[in-house]
Amino acid sequence: EVQLVESGGGLVKPGGSLKLSCAASGFAFSSYDMSWVRQTPEKRLEWVAYISSGGGSTYYPDTVKGRFTISRDNAKNTLYLQMSSLKSEDTAMYYCARHDSGYPFAYWGQGTLVTVSA
């Protein structure tokens, strides 16, 4: 069974940093592209980062480019999202998701909550 478990969320001050993790199990993690998606308190969904299976390709929307970095450790079956220069508008539930054969977001984790507030 595919399992994705996010962790690392919490309360952080504006301008601060936070690193999220997503532990994967039940599948060959190194064979799959992955993404992070966030859901705002208004329930709007926004894709925030993509990484290819081997880690060689990454993509970000302009809203987080230069502030967020997606990475992975295939030996540890873990996906990461390093977030810096955080703003109040980054407050959201952050989900990791697995892609499938070129079709994104086939499986989702349960999410980890990030709150950016003074």
Among 55, 78, 105, 115, binds other proteins (CB under 8 A): 105
Which lies closer to other proteins via its Cβ, residue 59 or residue 88? 59
**From 93, 94, 114, 116, residue interacting with other proteins (rule: CB under 8 A):** 93
For residues 24 and 98, the answer to whether their CB atoms sit within 8 Å is: yes
11 makes contact with other proteins (CB under 8 A): no
Q: Give the CA diameter of the chain.
A: 42
Question: CA–CA separation, 86 vs 102, rounded Å?
Answer: 31
Question: Is residue 20 a contact partner of residue 10, using CB atoms and an 8 Å limit?
Answer: no
Query: What is the nearest approach in angstroms of other proteins to the Cβ of residue 62?
Result: 7
If one asks whether residue 59 binds other proteins (CB under 8 A), the answer comes out as: yes
Comparison of 74 and 108: residue with beta carbon closer to other proteins: 108
Binding flag, residue 89, other proteins (CB under 8 A): no
For residue 16, what are the CA distances in angstroms to 7, 72, 88? 17, 22, 11
Binding residues with other proteins: total (CB under 8 A) = 20
Q: Which of 94, 99, 102, 105 is nearest to 27 (CA)?
A: 99
Binding site for other proteins (CB under 8 A): 43-47, 50, 59, 61-62, 93, 95, 97, 103-108, 110-111
